[in-house]
Structure 1
């Protein structure tokens, strides 16, 4: 797939325009996002992804379109697991409801920039070293096993990472929020506010999730452009999904198992692809191993099928066990 430079610039420019428009709407009238509003925005971003995928189909063919959709669905479903952590971060920092949308938007922009760097490094490594597929496969299979062990349990506490601890050493942080400001001057001294801390918490935490989601999508497509755009569309729609899911989030009790199956499946797919492209001298004398590869149609079918089964099974289980619905949503947690 040949992607000219102008298309890269146009795509990034379009994403920047959407982000700026969203920031204007947020800053123009800060408010607590309602479920109805979140639903409209989620549908908007899903529609954008569908239109983009249709464009890929029209100009590059069905195979690349299938790779984009498989990558987008995988990244979006993996991002849902991020929401559990986002909820905990919002609650830990007691983010006011009217500022949660801005926090998520800026945090996700930070995450998208860092993921872009990660994708560029990954694409360069894959182009030069075929054994990187083995490494990616190992990461995915390890993560799948960890998700199975985690089961339906999720951590209820958030521990600040090194980036945030370093920032706190470099700058004093106010106890209270000062509207949507990230920095303020008090008695001539510059202070950071909890707003910048929580934004960086969202962005840096997402990078940890990228350590398994980026290898996962490289298992579905090696086209850097599709990897980047699938991540962009998934992340842009993620913050609205945070408000839309609300009480449904804890009802997805089998989500970890579903994601484990998907990551394990893609891990196996990567192993087969690595064997097919093998250049390691201690495997088959450094020659490619004639193994069957899993096509994108099968991959897309497995991913969608697993997500449907996981969601339906989770909702049935939650209905039989009403106690799992005790979760009160992002707004309630932010006010505790």
Structure 2
């Protein structure tokens, strides 16, 4: 019993165990009951499942508020909403990846599930490392803050540059060093196929595995923004990790609703840019203008929620009546086929 109340990264162990149990239970329920079979998810089902995950996340925040106080509860909600908004950008990239590799919708959900399991582990490692560095060198927060301000300003003036999957060095390395099939094999990441020279059965990766790898690489890029953003709100490791994971956990459900209309959120990136600038700036404001006093959590959450809400509303209004752009849907599959065909010197099958 003493172990349950032992301090672990600033939080009693039973808090961590409760959260891990919740995540494991939701994942098992999702995969084992709701989606035992691979099938395409409709927009209606996607929205209902998304609402379920959001409700769970909000109730978890209420539990944090009661058990750990309103300040950390407010920090959790702020981090959750920021990560949820940033995940909309992530949806566009995931949609592009699936289109590029010509992954049918009925296999996308399972790939997203394994991708999110990997994200849970990768984010945990990044956040644990970040927490250790911040605890040892608190001035690192100023670097995080300056990075967020710079990233936000860059987002405001950057043009629309699609992710260059075809020339991704990691994918080209995997494709050349591993056997990769040109066709999908249902939901499998690896299959046994005849070797081109000996005829013996050998293991080979499928395009679904390559898609999974690119999705996780993309998340690492997004984590570079989201992890410093939540550290700029709070340095409590439990709040940083749980707010990130609860926002990501429902991403695979939200994906199928947003992927069909992601072009409608084109202008949200400018709101997200302003959020990053605000989150980074408030550290300097608190330390140099407020004499070291903390920036009011209620004001921080209000500004964040207001900017994101305004970005969504303006995007939906500005893009009303616009048709979905043809690319990448028109060119993605051809580019993927061309990429595999070019690997004549490698081991593609």
Instruction: Give the alignment's TM-score, normalised by structure 1.
Output: 0.88
Q: 1:240 to 1:92 in 2, by over 3 A?
A: same
Aligned to 1:269: 282
- Residue 310 of structure 2 corresponds to residue 309 of structure 1: yes
SS of the counterpart of 1:294?
coil
* 2: CA distance, partners of 1:329 / 1:240: 23
Aligned to 1:326: 324
Deviation at 1:139, TM superposition (A): 1.5
Q: 1:333 to 1:99 in 2, by over 3 A?
A: farther
Q: 1:48 to 1:275 in 2, by over 3 A?
A: same
Q: 1:94 to 1:5 in 2, by over 3 A?
A: same
Q: 1:332 to 1:101 in 2, by over 3 A?
A: farther
Aligned to 1:88: 96
SS of the counterpart of 1:326?
coil
Q: 1:328 to 1:99 in 2, by over 3 A?
A: farther
Deviation sequence 1:266-306 (CA, Å, 0-9, x none): 11013345659xxxxxxxxxxxx935542111110001111
More displaced, 256-265 or 193-202?
193-202
- Residue 155 of structure 2 corresponds to residue 147 of structure 1: yes
More displaced, 32-41 or 289-298?
289-298
Q: Which runs of 5+ in 1 are unaligned?
A: 277-288
Q: Are the aligned partners of 1:67 and 1:221 in contact in 2 as well (CA < 8 Å)?
A: yes
Q: How many residues align?
A: 320
Deviation sequence 1:234-277 (CA, Å, 0-9, x none): 1111111111123431112211110010000011013345659x
Q: Are the aligned partners of 1:247 and 1:329 in contact in 2 as well (CA < 8 Å)?
A: no
Pairing 1:156-167 to 2, within 5 Å after superposition: 157-159=164-166, 161-167=168-174
Q: Are the aligned partners of 1:133 and 1:271 in contact in 2 as well (CA < 8 Å)?
A: no
SS of the counterpart of 1:305?
helix
Q: Which runs of 5+ in 2 are unaligned?
A: 1-8, 195-200, 335-349
Aligned to 1:168: 175
Aligned to 2:243: 230
Q: CA RMSD in A?
A: 2.4
Runs of 4 or more above 6 Å deviation: 328-336
- Residue 190 of structure 2 corresponds to residue 183 of structure 1: yes
Deviation sequence 1:194-214 (CA, Å, 0-9, x none): 111111211121011100110
* 2: CA distance, partners of 1:129 / 1:266: 20
* 2: CA distance, partners of 1:60 / 1:332: 50
* 2: CA distance, partners of 1:165 / 1:116: 28
Match of 2:145 among 137, 142, 166: 137
Q: 1:250 to 1:257 in 2, by over 3 A?
A: same
Pairing 1:88-127 to 2, within 5 Å after superposition: 88-127=96-135
* 2: CA distance, partners of 1:91 / 1:51: 35
More displaced, 326-335 or 267-276?
326-335
Q: 1:204 to 1:182 in 2, by over 3 A?
A: same
Match of 1:241 among 237, 254, 264: 254
Match of 1:20 among 16, 28, 33: 28
Instruction: Give the alignment's TM-score, normalised by structure 2.
Output: 0.85
